[in-house]
Amino acid sequence: MRALIQRVQKAKVTVDNNTVGSISHGVLVFLGITHSDSKNDVDWLVEKILKLRIFTYKEGKLNESIKDINGEILVVSQFTLYGNAKKGTRPSFTNAAKGDIARPLYEYMVERLKKADVKVETGVFGAYMQVSLVNDGPVTLLLEKETQE
């Protein structure tokens, strides 16, 4: 499981020129899911996202979490996080889970974040989306939880 986390001043997702998800100050999470991912991986990632101290407190230090600042989260499914371009110039996406595996885990993640009493917005799973954001900092992190087989 991979998540690209961007601290944002604002972000939104549109599908067919309609805004489907929009947040103000918080984090934009691009979520990539692979074949071996499970709910345990989602649980780990949710806890990590909620506890990451990537927001400024005093003296410019990154010391506050999304919950500390009452921030918001926008979650967007992104199978291309598992793209592999080692050979040739056309990426392979064979490591990305198909929708029947990825969708339930994506939905589970959104549900778990909402239960943490954080405002959560989403894109539309599997849709062609436009994402716009104002990166804050910029602060961008790649979180990865590789399942041991």
| pLDDT at 145 > cutoff 90 | no
Residue 147 banded pLDDT, cuts 50, 70, 90: low
Q: Are the C-beta atoms of residues 50 and 3 closer than 8 Å to each other?
A: no
Which of these is catalytic: 80, 94, 140, 147?
Answer: 80
Range of the domain at 17: 2-144
**Segment 82-113, tens digit of pLDDT:** 999 999 899 999 999 999 999 999 999 999 99
pLDDT at 79 over 50: yes
Q: Name the 3-class secondary structure at 17.
A: coil
> Is 149 a domain residue?
no
Give domain status of residue 70, yes or no. yes
Mention every residue, 6+ apart, whose C-beta is less than 8 A from residue 54. Answer: 5, 7, 27, 62, 65, 139, 141
DSSP state of 30: E
pLDDT digits (tens, 9 = 90+) for 3-28: 999 999 999 999 999 999 999 999 99
pLDDT at 149: 44
Tokens representing 66 are 């999304």
Has residue 148 got a pLDDT over 70? no
Please indicate, yes or no, if residue 56 is contained in any of the structural domains.
yes
DSSP 3-state of 107: helix
What totals of helices (H) and strands (E) does the chain contain, helices first? 2, 8
* 80 included as an active-site residue: yes
Mean pLDDT (whole number) for 113-129 = 97
The number of distinct structural domains making up the chain is 1
Q: What is the pTM of this model?
A: 0.93
pLDDT above 90 for 51? yes
Q: Which residues of 112-138 are buried (b: 16+ CB within 10 A; e: fewer)?
A: bbeeeebebbbbbbeeebebebeebee
Query: What is the structure's pLDDT at 59?
Result: 76
Looking up residue 133, the CATH number of its domain turns out to be: 3.50.80.10
